[in-house]
Amino acid sequence: MSEVGVVQTIMDFFNAAVLAATPLLLATLGEILTEKSGNLNLGVEGMMYMGAMAGISASWLYEAAMGAAANGLVSVLLAVAGGILAGALGGLIYSVLTVTLRANQNVTGLTLTIFGAGIGNFFGELLGMRAGGYASITDVTKSMFNNIEMPLLSKIPVLGKMLFSHDFVVYMAVIVAVLMTWFLNKTRVGLNLRAVGESPATADAAGINVARYKYLATCVGGGLCGLGGMYISMVRFSGTWVHGCVDGRGWIAVALVIFAAWSPARAMIGALLFGGLSVLRYYMPIKDVATQFYDMVPYIATVVVLVITSIRQGKERAQPKACGINYFREER
């Protein structure tokens, strides 16, 4: 391979990794926010399905209603809103059950995954039936997901194409990650949220409304998961509903939260790494090692991180202390 060819391959690989990483990053950020409030929501996969279905449905129904007059921008905004709202609805169901009704977090999360995957595939298939075969959005909407070239910056050789020429959701995900780092570390509300996740009794005594923080963090987190799902159906599968499209990405996101040690900034690196691993086989001839072992790496790496943090007993990079445990004021 010529030198130019190698550079081109690396650039292509990097861009494919970003495409694979974006839904992972969004869902991971959502789950980090949720877990910071002390809710271990294992329903990420379900919320992503709900977002994937709602996103594509919103766009498709709008296009069907407007016909040729459909506006791409409106259609995409509807998809984004649909994805976020559907994911947030999943987070709301989870919050009502675990925060207000005090149901077991693990079981509720798994149920949300079963329910969300069911809802996604159910309505996705109905949409397909209604579209007469399979549901697909038109180029008017799809073009809105074209790469946005950053002025000047995208002209930098090699790096410009890699870093400053992506669709708007990629930039959005990065901005959310940066904002969340700032929010969790520098703002009062963010610190309060972390207090709720570490020690709800202390937070409660300090006058923080524990239930409100848990509800908000879980619903906003669910919204981010839903947005990640929307990206899968609208971009990864180019606006066509594919049965079972989320395909375990929600669980990779749950793994990524641990791998990134509950840090939004590290989640960006982790998502790019895990996303890159999932597409590596298309850019590098893998002969000796079976592709399944590449797919296994994220989970093994996560187990290793999990074990190391538990051995080190560090407080800095560990799961929020009250994560997974419901808070009952009168049982304090």
Partner 1 sequence: MSATKVAARAHEPFVRIIKKDTISRGRAYMIRALALLASLVAGALLLLALGHNPLPVYRDMVIGAFGSAFVTKETVRIAIPLLIAGLGVALAFKMRFWNIGAEGQILMGAVCATYFALYQYQTLPQALLLIVMALAAMAGGAIWGLIPALFKARWNTNETLFTLMFNYIALECVRFLQYGPWIDPKQRGFPKIAMFEPAARLPKVFDVHIGWIVAVVLVALVYLYLTKSKQGYEITVVGESIPTARYAGMSVSRVFLRTMVISGALCGLTGYLVVAGANYTLSESTAGGVGFTAITVAWLSNLNPIVMVIVAVFIAMLQRGSNTIQTTFKIPLAAADVLTGLILFFMLGCEFFLNYALVIRDGKEKPNE
Binding site for partner 1 (CB under 8 A): 40, 42, 93, 96-97, 100-104, 106-108, 110-122, 125-126, 129, 248, 251, 254-255, 258, 290-293, 295-296, 299-300, 302-303, 306-307, 310-311, 319, 324, 330-331
Is the Cβ of residue 6 or residue 307 nearer to partner 1 in the bound state? 307
Return the number of other C-beta atoms located less than 10 Å from residue 228's C-beta. Answer: 33
Q: Report the nearest approach of partner 1 to the CB of residue 296 (Å).
A: 4
Question: Shortest approach of partner 1 to residue 141 CB, angstroms?
Answer: 24
- Residue whose CB is less far from partner 1, 170 or 210: 210
Q: Are 241 and 53 in contact (CB under 8 A)?
A: yes
Question: Among residues 182 and 282, whose Cβ is nearest to partner 1?
Answer: 282
CB 24 within 8 A of CB 249: yes
Q: How far is the CB of 171 from partner 1 (least distance, A)?
A: 30
Supply the minimum distance, in Å, between the C-beta of residue 139 and partner 1. Answer: 28
Minimum CB distance to partner 1 smaller for 72 or for 116: 116
Closest approach of partner 1 to the CB of residue 161, in Å = 33
Beta carbon of residue 274, minimum distance to partner 1 (angstroms, whole number): 12
Query: In the complex, what is the shortest distance from the CB of residue 115 to partner 1, in angstroms, rounded to a whole number?
Result: 3
Nearer to partner 1, 115 or 237 (CB): 115
Cα angle 134-138-139, degrees, rounded to a multiple of 5: 140
* Closer residue to partner 1, CB minimum distance, 107 or 205: 107
For partner 1, give the closer residue by CB, 72 or 128: 128
